[in-house]
């Protein structure tokens, strides 16, 4: 019979799987408590980093409908449940792993699919959502400016043509008056 504290832990981890936009599975052996605290600070509000027993995580993943991660739950395992932007969390984990070789990213889960380490690295290489939105807005504004200039060009050409025609008539009129005198 399952102990109530383990049942509660499985339920809590299953809820985290369900409510997270992504999850990154890591191996943390060799990290000190202060380094783990530093990692949690680096993740900030974007992710919740939790150390858990592999058997409990496997059960919670199965309960939450998460498939394809069972082979990652070997050895000391900790999971970063991403609640905010997956790009920011992936960057924080990647950068921390570069500085601390004891942290090993094993894989992850996002949008109903398991992620390899390479896919997590590619996500970390992306720019944040805000930067991408700003670039998109800038590109749209540039295209709108080009369209406005394109629509304005015929009108300004007609105005320049009319001004040139008027100047020509004045100069021809001045030449006619000089010829009459």
What are the residue boundaries of the structural domains of the chain, listed by start?
4-126, 128-181
The mean pLDDT value for 158-163 works out to: 83
In terms of pTM, does the model score above 0.75?
A: no
- The pLDDT, as a whole number, for residue 168 is 86
The confidence band for 1, taking pLDDT boundaries of 50, 70 and 90, is very low
Average pLDDT of every residue of the chain? 85
For residue 175, the model assigns a pLDDT of 58
Cα–Cα distance between 147 and 117 in angstroms, integer?
43
77 compared with 156, residue with greater pLDDT: 77
Per residue in 17-67, pLDDT tens? 888 889 999 998 888 888 888 988 888 888 888 888 888 999 988 888 888
Which pLDDT value is given to residue 101? 86
Q: Which CATH class is domain 4-126?
A: alpha beta
């Amino acid at each position: 019979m399952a102990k109530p504290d383990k049942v509660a832990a499985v339920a809590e981890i299953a809820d985290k799987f369900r409510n997270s936009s992504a999850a990154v599975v890591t191996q943390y052996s060799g990290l000190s408590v202060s380094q783990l605290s530093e990692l949690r600070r680096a993740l900030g509000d974007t992710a919740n980093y939790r150390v858990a027993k592999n058997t409990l995580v496997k059960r919670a993943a199965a309960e939450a409908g998460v498939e394809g991660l069972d082979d990652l739950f070997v050895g000391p395992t900790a999971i970063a449940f991403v609640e905010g932007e997956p790009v920011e969390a992936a960057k924080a984990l990647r950068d921390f792993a570069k500085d601390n070789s004891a942290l090993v990213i094993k894989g992850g889960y996002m949008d109903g699919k398991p992620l390899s380490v390479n896919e997590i690295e590619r996500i970390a290489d992306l720019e944040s959502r805000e930067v991408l939105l700003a670039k998109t807005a800038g590109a749209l504004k540039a295209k709108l400016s080009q369209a406005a200039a394109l629509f304005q060009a015929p009108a300004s050409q007609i105005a320049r043509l009319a001004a040139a025609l008027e100047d020509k008539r004045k100069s021809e009129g001045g030449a006619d008056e000089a010829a009459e005198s």
